[in-house]
């Protein structure tokens, strides 16, 4: 399980934007999807999700709206905005650069042994 706050903190926005590109979600759905896809590797405290979402909304990356779920309950859904989509592309690029650099260092070290 990865509980490191810094790591998760840095990539949370990237993960949320990526999820919301596929489909509009409400908070609880997002938690479930992240847990399912990461095989429960990411287990952050659920209450910390909303501050991130609200910050993203005030930055104009997502937009919230009320909608009924399939079960007839009304929830606050989040939709990615155009600005959010641009941010996602930029964040993805940064992420790739970062993982490539880490891989190079790690592999380089392995060859050196």
Partner 1 sequence: MPSETVQNENNNWKEYLDAVVREVKFRPDRADIRREYEEHLSDAFDALREDGLSEDDASAAAVSNMGDPVEAGRALNRSHNPMLGWIETILRWILIFVLCSSFPIAYAVIGLGVVNTLGVIRGYSDVEGHGELIRTVVVGRSIDWDGRVLSIDEIRLYEDGALELRYRSRASLLNSGRLGSYDLPVRLSDENGTLRDVSNLSKTSGGLITYHQFLCKAFPPDSKAVQIEYGYAHLYKAHMIRFAVDLTATGKEAAE
Q: Which residues bind partner 1 (CB under 8 A)?
A: 26-28, 32, 44-48, 50-52, 54-55, 57-58, 73, 75-76
Residue whose CB is less far from partner 1, 41 or 89: 41
Q: How far is the CB of 76 from partner 1 (least distance, A)?
A: 5
Q: How far is the CB of 99 from partner 1 (least distance, A)?
A: 27
Residue whose CB is less far from partner 1, 76 or 100: 76
Residue whose CB is less far from partner 1, 54 or 104: 54
Partner residues linked to 62 by β-bridges: 80
Q: The sheet that has 74-80: what strands, in order across it?
A: 25-26, 74-80, 62-68
Q: Which structure tokens are listed for 87?
A: 């941010």
Report yes or no: 91 and 13 within 8 Å, Cβ to Cβ: yes
Q: Which structure tokens are listed for 104?
A: 């190079």
């Amino acid at each position: 399980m990865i509980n490191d706050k810094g790591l998760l903190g840095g990539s949370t926005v990237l993960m949320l934007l990526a999820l919301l590109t596929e489909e509009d979600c409400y908070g609880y759905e997002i938690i479930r999807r992240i847990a399912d896809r990461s095989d429960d590797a990411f287990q952050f405290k659920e209450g910390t999700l909303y501050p991130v979402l609200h910050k993203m909304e005030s930055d104009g990356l997502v937009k919230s709206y009320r909608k009924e779920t399939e079960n007839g309950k009304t929830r606050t859904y989040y939709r990615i905005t155009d600005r959010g989509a641009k941010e996602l592309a930029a964040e993805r690029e940064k992420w790739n650069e970062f993982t490539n650099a880490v891989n190079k260092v790690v592999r380089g070290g392995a060859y050196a042994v």
